[in-house]
Amino acid sequence: MLTEPTSPPDVAVVTTPPTTSPLTPRAARWWSRWWDRRGLRIALLGVVVVVLAGLYLLTDVPGSLAYALKIRGLTLAAMLVVATAVGVSTVVFHTITQNRILTPSIMGFDAFYLLISTVIVFTAGATSFLRFDPLVLWGIQVAVMVAFSVVLFTWLFGGKRRSIHLMLLVGIVLGTLFRSFTEWMQRMLDPVAFQVLSDAGFASLTRPDRTLLALTAVLVALACAALIPLLPTLDVLTLGEPAAIGLGVSHRRTVMLLFTMVSVMVAASTALVGPILFFGLIVANLAYSYAGTFRHRFTVPTAALLAVICLLGGQLVLERVFAFTATLSTVIEFAGGMFFLTLVLRKGAR
């Protein structure tokens, strides 16, 4: 017996509306091509720096504009010099050590700077320290820090069995020794001398000495100029020591030269404004994410510009919003410490 075929039940067809993009396909492709042009990314950072510099110099002027430009111009120049030195030196140091968590301060530059100041206060007194010629004091600090780093690098990295890891380990140990010796001398100082020394231990970017600023700018500019021809070599060093040697790079000599440049920039900037811990760690890792490439012709200027933006933006917020209720170095150290812990925990979780 034949039965009529039954029609299939009605099935509700659910259709999803096509996703709409705020950009047309042509505009999306244009934006992708534009953002992939890393030179334009760097130019965008330069525009931000110019805008922030104009806001810092020309807004909220209580009195004479000429006097405000004179005072703020020195602070702006100090920020530019220190930001360039810290950003560039940290990126180069990361490439040499093959580690993006370490900073040049791990070698004990900040501890050595505080040790020199403590020895002067301990032996000559706080009054003599305050009356000390700033140019002579700056020259002593820079010369001693650079000489210490060069001797350390030559001794630990010059032999056949020496390595960067051994040099970093010795630098950490010496930094701990310097801090312990500094704290031992500080415990025997009177309260006034201890207060003077404590003030010298915090970075101050406002109203730097003109002569010291000019000398620091010259040293940083010379180091950056010497670094420019080595940018392709830094790209090769990113591949590691065996690959760099296989590609014809004189690894030991190049690393020694780069360590010397890093030492000069860090020592000069530290002697000018004081130690700024973790600042290079922040701007260098931000530069890697923003540039989206390992090539140092992009990461090095990006780190320098981001460092300027962080210093200028932070100073603007502290002056205009919080009315100097906190210091910029304190905020940088707190934020950098939290950022450092985040990087360490993220590395450990992987």
> What local confidence, expressed as pLDDT, does residue 157 receive?
64
> What local confidence, expressed as pLDDT, does residue 91 receive?
93
Domain range enclosing 344: 71-349
Closest by Cα among 293, 76, 240 to 301: 293
Q: Is residue 43 part of a domain?
A: no
| Structure confidence by residue, pLDDT tens digits, 222-279 | 999 999 999 999 999 888 888 888 888 888 888 888 988 988 898 888 888 877 777 8
Q: Is residue 21 part of a domain?
A: no
> What local confidence, expressed as pLDDT, does residue 8 receive?
46
Q: Is residue 13 part of a domain?
A: no
Residues of the chain with pLDDT under 50: 1-21, 34, 348-349
- Residues 156, 164: Cα–Cα separation, whole Å: 8
- Burial group, residue 184, by CB count within 10 angstroms (0-12, 13-18, 19+): exposed
The Cα-based distances of 303 to 28, 129, 292, 298, 317 in angstroms read 28, 35, 12, 9, 21
> What local confidence, expressed as pLDDT, does residue 32 receive?
54
> What local confidence, expressed as pLDDT, does residue 9 receive?
46
Please state the pTM of the whole predicted model: 0.80
> What local confidence, expressed as pLDDT, does residue 28 receive?
58
> What local confidence, expressed as pLDDT, does residue 188 receive?
86
> What local confidence, expressed as pLDDT, does residue 313 receive?
85
- Residues 52, 212: Cα–Cα separation, whole Å: 25
CATH of the domain at 126: 1.10.3470.10
> What local confidence, expressed as pLDDT, does residue 152 receive?
75
> What local confidence, expressed as pLDDT, does residue 229 receive?
92
Instruction: Provide the number of structural domains found in the chain.
Output: 1
> What local confidence, expressed as pLDDT, does residue 304 receive?
93
Q: Is residue 57 part of a domain?
A: no
Cβ atoms of 174 and 108 within 8 Å: the answer is yes
- Residues 3, 23: Cα–Cα separation, whole Å: 57
Q: Is residue 25 part of a domain?
A: no
> What local confidence, expressed as pLDDT, does residue 21 receive?
47
> What local confidence, expressed as pLDDT, does residue 71 receive?
84
Residue with tokens 């505009």: 27
> What local confidence, expressed as pLDDT, does residue 16 receive?
45
Q: Is residue 41 part of a domain?
A: no
Q: Is residue 285 part of a domain?
A: yes
Can you state the percent helix, strand and coil of the chain, rounding each to 5? 75, 0, 25
Q: Is residue 63 part of a domain?
A: no
| Structure confidence by residue, pLDDT tens digits, 147-167 | 887 777 777 666 555 566 776
> What local confidence, expressed as pLDDT, does residue 163 receive?
64
